[in-house]
Amino acid sequence: MLRKIVKIDEAKCDGCGECVPSCAEGAIAIVDGKARLVGDVLCDGLGACLGECPQGAITVVEREAAAFDEGAVKAHLARATPVRPRLNVLSAFPEPEPGGGCPGSRQAITRRAPHVDVGPSASGESRLGQWPVQLHLVQPHAPFFKGADLLVAADCVPFAYARFHDEFLDGRAVVVGCPKLDDVGPYAEKLAAIIAVGGVKSVTVVRMEVPCCGGISRLAREAIAAAGRDLPFRDVIVGTDGQLRGER
């Protein structure tokens, strides 16, 4: 049948993912770093996602397409999004009992080496002041988040940028994650809880220039909003050649 349906210009799409949550039917997904219409029957053609694309890559066109199917939408959403209760960020992550637990995820504050300014090259000294660092493993009540400047880093950044420890990690609490490979569903809730419970003073995101990495910045912004905080926010981009690309 001839009907209105969403069209995505992949040449314009940078894979930021802003359009995904705006589609209540789940018709859009990030696939191989680009937004894609995953099924004609899932798109109602109303275009709620149009205003969410900063690149103007989404339009509504009229073409031959299968009819919109609400039953297919319900089945698709049931498969794609397991039901998770909405959690209060202040109570979703209770204070852990002292002692016990996996040594790999046990909270600790490591001794930080004193900072020495060695000029333009990296000092070679670790600036890590806590453990763990993986976002799934940290607890919002951890003491190293109290009144901290928070660094949210994409997994690949410390490998790509030689001065990561000196320029970004030094003096900050850190969490790391990958918006492409990880289960990012709990990320926004966890970040919101860290910001709300720990009294975080600022948030800096450091991510790669690849399109899928923009998701970690979006999650951080959502977490700040969910925590009801108005915080200084930086979004720093590192190129795959190891050079800084600037901020957004």
Q: Is position 155 within any domain?
A: yes
Indicate if 64 and 96 belong to the same structural domain: no
Find the CATH number of the domain harbouring 49: 3.30.70.20
Indicate if 219 and 96 belong to the same structural domain: yes
Find the CATH number of the domain harbouring 140: 3.40.1360
Indicate if 48 and 164 belong to the same structural domain: no
pLDDT tens for 80-138 read 644 444 445 555 566 665 555 454 445 555 544 454 444 444 567 899 999 999 998 89
Q: Is position 117 within any domain?
A: no
- 202 vs 179, residue with greater confidence: 202
Q: Is position 118 within any domain?
A: no
pLDDT tens for 50-93 read 666 888 899 999 999 999 998 998 888 877 644 444 445 555 56
Indicate if 29 and 103 belong to the same structural domain: no
Indicate if 60 and 105 belong to the same structural domain: no
Query: For residue 103, what are the domain limits?
Result: 87-112+123-248
Residue 113 has what pLDDT? 46
Indicate if 57 and 96 belong to the same structural domain: no
- 55 vs 202, residue with greater confidence: 202
The residue-averaged pLDDT of 31-60 equals 84
Indicate if 106 and 139 belong to the same structural domain: yes
* Total number of domains constituting the chain: 2
Helix (H, G, I), strand (E, B) or coil at 64: strand
Residues ≥6 apart with Cβ < 8 Å to 192: 89, 222, 223, 224, 226, 227
Indicate if 24 and 92 belong to the same structural domain: no
Q: Are 163 and 131 in contact (CB under 8 A)?
A: no
Q: Is position 105 within any domain?
A: yes
- 74 vs 18, residue with greater confidence: 74
- 3-state SS, one letter per residue, for 124-182: CCCCCCCECCECCCCCCCCHHHCCCEEEEEECCHHHHCCCHHHHHHCCCEEEEECCCCC
